[in-house]
Amino acid sequence: MTDETQAVEVPERDPGRERLAVGIGVAGWILPGLGHALQKMWGRALACFLTVGALVVIGAAMRGNLFTSDGGDAFASLGYLADLGTGSFYLVAKSVETSGPDVSRADGDYGTRFLAAAGVLNLLAALHAYEAARGRKA
Amino acid sequence: MSLQLSHFQAMLLFALAISVAFGFLSRRPPLERVKYILWSLFLFLLIGVGIGWAMYPFSH
């Protein structure tokens, strides 16, 4: 039995690239798909934009609950964080949902889930864009 | 603007959007993406309908 150890190559950290990656992640959060578009990943950019956009528009059209900062309890705060994940599409949802939420029907309840899922999905996409910019994902 | 969908239509739209996003984010070759999207969509629907039927006895 040998006592050899294999050297693991640790890539050098480049502060410039790290800052760029953070900027790309934030851009992807603000406008769904922008983080990937800046890296010329057009298919992923379009998919993120369209899927997050569709979930937001459908959720708002179903009169889902779009949480605000003055929610009052932990669930409302978590819902607000999830909704904020949609970035600028939060404002789109507000403009679509002119007559306010109606969760007395199943449609409104589904709409709430659509909006929250859109936010979490966009955060996932932004994180993916950030990792790709760091060179960790293809 | 008010949209009214059945439970199944809502689930179908939700599953489709999430499956497409996951497929594009996790796979790069086009054929792999399509396979992933279809498989994910199928599992979403299967598990959704399965859970629906599993809850059926409690609604009566």
Subunit contact A48:B3, Cβ cutoff 8 A: no
pLDDT tens digits along B1-60 = 678 889 999 999 999 999 999 999 999 899 999 999 999 999 999 999 999 999 999 987
Distance CA B12, CA B42 (A): 10
Task: Judge whether A59 and A112 are in contact, CB under 8 Å.
Answer: yes
Whole-number Å distance between alpha carbons of A122 and B2: 24
Higher pLDDT, B20 or A99: B20
Q: How far apart are CA A51 and CA B15, in angstroms?
A: 11
DSSP 8-class letter at A31: S
Task: Answer whether residue A4 shows pLDDT above 60.
Answer: no
User: What is the Cβ-side half-sphere exposure of residue A11, based on CA atoms within 13 angstroms?
Assistant: 8
The secondary element (H helix, E strand) that includes residue A59 is: helix A42-61
DSSP-derived letter for residue B29 is S
CB of A61 within 8 Å of a chain B CB? The answer is yes
Distances (CA, A) of A131 to A10, A30, A74, A118, A127: 16, 17, 30, 20, 6
In this predicted model, which residue has the larger pLDDT, A126 or A72? Answer: A126
* Backbone torsions φ then ψ of A44, nearest 5 degrees: -70, -40
pLDDT tens for A55-85 read 999 999 999 988 988 878 888 899 999 999 9
Among candidates A46, A49, A129, A126, which has minimal Cα distance to A92? Answer: A49
Residue A28: name the closest of A37, A17, A20, A19 by CA. A37
Position A54, amino acid: A
A114 contact B CB<8A: yes
Which ranges of chain A does DSSP label H, i.e. alpha helix? 15-30, 34-37, 42-61, 74-84, 89-96, 106-133
Testing the interface with B: which of A102, A110, A120 to mutate, by most B Cβ within 10 A? A110
Residue A52, phi then psi, degrees to nearest 5: -65, -45
Q: Please report the ipTM that was assigned to this predicted complex.
A: 0.88
Mark which residues 11-40 of B lie under 8 Å from A by CB: 13-14, 17-18, 20-21, 23-25, 28
Which residue ranges make up each domain of chain A?
Answer: 15-133
Q: Which of A8 and A107 is assigned the larger pLDDT?
A: A107
Contacts with B17 from chain A: Cβ below 8 Å: 51, 54-55, 121
CB distance A134 to A26 below 8 Å:
no
B10 to A110: CB separation less than 8 angstroms, yes or no? yes
